[in-house]
Amino acid sequence: MSSYPPSGPPPTTTLRQRLADLRGPAVPPRPLDARALAALAANPGCGRRALLDGAGVDKTALASALGSPSAFGQSQFAIVRGNAFEARVKGDGGAELLRLVHEHLGAGSEPPGPGAHVPDLTAAGPEGRAARTALALREATAAAAADGTWTLLDHPMLALEVAGSPAYLEPDAVVVHPDGRWTVVEIKSFPMIDGAADAAKVGAAARQAAVYVLALEKTAGKLASAVVGHTVLLVCPKDFSNLPAASPVDVRRERAVTLRQLERLTRVEELAAALPEGLSFDPARPAEELTEAVAAVSAAYAPECLAACELAFHCRERARAADAVTALGRSVRGELGTLTTVEEALAAAAGSGGTEDPTAASLHRAARLRAEALEAAACPC
Amino acid sequence: MSLLNTLARLEAVRAGRARPLATVRHRHLSERPLVLVPLTTAGEAGAPLGALVGTDPARPRLLVVPQPRDRDLRWAFLADLADEVLPYVEGYADDVERVERTETDPETGAKSKVEAELCLDAPQLIVPSRAGIEYVRLLGRSMRFRRTAEEDPENPYPAPSRVPLLGRWFTHLGERSRVPGASMLLSATELLGRHWATGQSNLEDQHLGALLSWIVPPEGESGAEAALRAELGRDRDGQLLVPPAGPATDPAFDNKLLAPAMSRYDAARSGDDPRAVARAEAAVRELVAEQMRPAWRAVWQSLELLRTLPPGERAEERWTRDRWSYTGHRDRVRAGEPPQPRRDDAVTAAQKLATRETEQVRLDAQEALDDPLVMAGRRLSGEAFAGEVTEIVMGWTESKRPSPRPLVTVATEDRPQLAEGGGKVFRSLEGRPQAAQFVRFEEDRRLIVLRLLDKMGRGREPEPGSVPEKGDRVCWTLFEHDARGGPKLPDPEKTPWTHGGPPGSRAAAPLPDTVTDEDIL
Ligand code: SF4
């Protein structure tokens, strides 16, 4: 198993014990998945999320126990459609998928023929599957070097140790090229219309794929001839059909951001150390106690959390209760500088701020202009 | 967002209800808009689930696809939608006025006046949210390349006859909606968001129910509380009290209500009791209708709210541009031109971009001139200033026939970004811009001396009313009031091959999308 940070010491048993205490005695750690790891990159400043994820706390259960259940759910129509499309793309021994990889990222190699390998990756448990995948990757790389074989790994299992907790990641597919290159393939069910897909969705897919690239690099590092491609292949339905369309996506930037994030996850130890004894996020505890426990770790709420974090409704409620301007958006917060509460900002607008702070002075001027304009228009509101 | 808008949001937080961002209505509203509330099937690209559509708030037309995986049912839906939307859209095509417009001869560059038709009015579609606008575009794209049985007798999956035409109109409306200030296709959330600031973030304002809750909270409740309920409130079965305004549905609705109802419909269809099929279909229709009705009412309520604002003077001028756009597309359809291409060629793309930039500048200027609250934002950022005229000193040009060039001194507390040594400023004089030259600051920038340059008539003495008087309140802008045209681009026919060559040089007419047996749409 690989670990981050690459050179860091293995987590101490005391940390492991500490994190188990934070989760609650009867609660197994919730393994991190690629979505969770990618989402960390979406709000790097948040210690609360880093600690909860690092400790393997089930944030969905915690949010419900706090009385602000998360609203993430998936329609079964979407799930059925996604599965059907993936099955179609991978059908026929992966011939179509390999063809797409060769077409877009083949780099002049021989096209994959009927001799392409699709090794069986079944094994018991995530550890077993991860070990099986590592072996298959090794064999595939050797086979590529020997006679230029293409290999398709269907739902491989990759292991990554993140701040002492194991994370098991399951990309849709990994392809080993004849030149020993490994390419991550992401199959999504949003359409690519006239060659372009929704930019926000492509961005999310790229962040997720970057996590797989990092996990693969750990395995590849041990093999002389293996290289992990920093361009992944995104496969989506073409236009309004069920036919696949593919597009290479460069994930170098996402990879760099996620790598930095994962390295920072070692903060978990510091964050945990700073917490009072006996504190716990066990969803079985009463809501007030949990609210207090969660409040002990500082957060960095922004409305973007609503789309990325299970705890968002809770954090939003706290931010609003604290009168924090960040509840109105990151840009608002940026604009108001040191005025971090609505009350402070409105006081400055009313002219109590003095003239030293330029933001306060502008706000005061803005309030005068606004009042003057509203009066001029005699708006009934 | 400007600081002024941020301030309005802060005020809204404290007031517990939305605060105005505008004192006039900055978008044209049709007397008879067509409201469209579409729903889509999760996980499918452009497989509609249902729609409420119509021009009468009391009587929407309900369209539902009881099984979106069934191609025939989807075609039937789109055919019905075309029946509802096309007569409305085409209803504006024949009432025209004749106007003169200037055309440039492509050979000589000479300008000449030609008479052209301009439709007196144009259609206006209102959808609930930004996502609804994107959905109209998507439907347009999915329909415009379809072939009907008349066009292509060999096609195993012919589209109903009017569907491709609806696709072309939806595409046109979707494309036009990207032009700042254009109003042929608008969303309720964007309309409301332009005119009111809530005490929540921009992101949360995308929820029409929550946004309305801030603007008109129910008796005895704050906007914040009502918005929270609209956003998250669920009944005992876990269903949202206010369903999303689409086109996406709530997963809990899909999983708990819609999927079982569709399975019952499928089961009934595989039996042979037509009454059972009718019952099962009615059940799906009612479920889907229930999801759309709140959004339908919310859109009409939004329109009512917007009508309480007096129309901005220059919004009408922008609507005339929409009428030109509508007339132009009408002509292209009538001339039998092929549907809009999948991707714009380089010149068209550059032209569209240039248009959007010009129109943004025009919109910003016009909104400021129409609305003191918007002008306040420009004053705050140093792009305009207002104040009282304290002194007029007459002066003239030194030519044979001297023209008036009076010096006007304005006292202001604003801080315009004027640099010593010139720069022009403008004020609106009966709707037309009058220019002045910045001469100097006096008394520590509290006084600004300007020299008036035009709009004073041909004589030696300025025409009455053309020069402000001592004591008048005036507002000057540093930006021009009329947008200038964008960069001159080569005509489409002269596109260099490096930019894709002239349109149509590569493929004559766009090919229809490949349709396979298992296609979802
Ligand atoms: S919702 Fe809360 S815990 Fe999650 S990222 Fe945002 S601030 Fe951090």
ipTM above threshold 0.85: yes
Whether residue A150 is found in the same domain as residue A184: yes
What pLDDT sits at residue B488?
46
Instruction: Give a yes or no: residue A316 inside a domain.
Output: no
Q: Which residues of A touch B203 (CB under 8 A)?
A: 303-304, 306-307, 329
Kindly provide the b/e burial profile for residues A165-176, where b requires at least 16 CB atoms within 10 angstroms of the residue's own CB.
bbbbbebbbbbb
Q: Which of A232-246, A252-266, B24-38, B349-363 has the highest mean pLDDT?
A: B24-38
Distance A278 CA to ligand 1 centre (A): 22
* pLDDT tens track for A31-42: 778 877 877 767
User: What does the alpha-carbon distance between residue B252 and residue B255 come to, in Å, rounded to a whole number?
Assistant: 5
Same domain for A59 and A86, yes or no, is: no
**CA A203 to the chain's CA centroid:** 11
- Decide if pLDDT at B487 tops 60: no
User: Do residues A142 and A166 share a domain?
Assistant: yes
For the CA atoms of A145, A146, A150, A154, what is the dihedral angle to 10 degrees? -80
Q: Are residues A111 and A220 in the same domain?
A: yes
Q: Give residue B492's pLDDT.
A: 45
Domain residues for the domain of A110 are 76-262
A112 and A34, same structural domain?
Answer: no
Identify the pLDDT of residue B160: 85
Q: What is the pLDDT at residue A2? A: 45
Q: Give DSSP secondary structure letters for A25-51.
A: TTPPPPPB-HHHHHHHHHSTT-HHHHH
> Are A67 and A108 members of one domain?
no
Per-residue model confidence (pLDDT) at position A16: 76
| Span B88-120, pLDDT tens digits | 999 999 999 998 877 777 777 787 888 889 999
* Same-domain status, A63 and A82: no
Choice among A129-138, A209-218, B355-364, B415-424 with the minimum mean pLDDT: B415-424
Read off φ and ψ for residue B483, nearest 5 degrees: -70, 140
The beta-carbon neighbor of A240 closest among B20, B224, B513 is B513
Distance CA A94, CA A140 (A): 15
* Whether A158 contacts A168, CB under 8 Å: yes
Instruction: Specify the pLDDT at position B8.
Output: 97
Same domain, A116 and A201: yes
Calculate what percentage of chain B has a pLDDT beyond 70: 92
Going along chain B from its start, the domains and CATH numbers come out as 3-342 (no CATH), 370-477 (2.40.30)
Same domain, A31 and A147: no
pLDDT category of residue A3 using cuts at 50, 70 and 90: very low
Distance A74 CA to ligand 1 centre (A): 21
B510 token code pair? 């766009």
Which of A302, A276, A278, A253 lies closest to A49, judged by CA? A302
A 325-354 residues with CB < 8 A to B: 325, 327-329, 331-332, 335-336, 342, 345-346, 349
Indicate whether A86 belongs to any domain: yes
Q: Are residues A215 and A285 in the same domain?
A: no
Residue A327 lies in a domain: no
Residue B357 Cα to ligand 1 middle (Å): 37
> CA dist A87 to A154, A249, B191, Å?
11, 22, 43
* β-bridge partners, B473: B388
The gap between the terminal CA atoms of chain B, to the nearest Å, is 40
Number of structural domains, chain A?
Answer: 3
Q: Is A162's pLDDT higher than 80?
A: no
Q: Is A155 on the interface with B (CB under 8 A)?
A: no
- What type of residue sits at position B345? D
pLDDT band at A109 (very low <50, low <70, confident <90, very high): confident
Q: How far is CA B24 from CA A100, B21, B97, B195, B477, in A?
A: 55, 9, 28, 8, 19
Q: Say how far residue A142 (Cα) sits from the centre of its chain.
A: 32
CB B245 within 8 A of CB B206: no
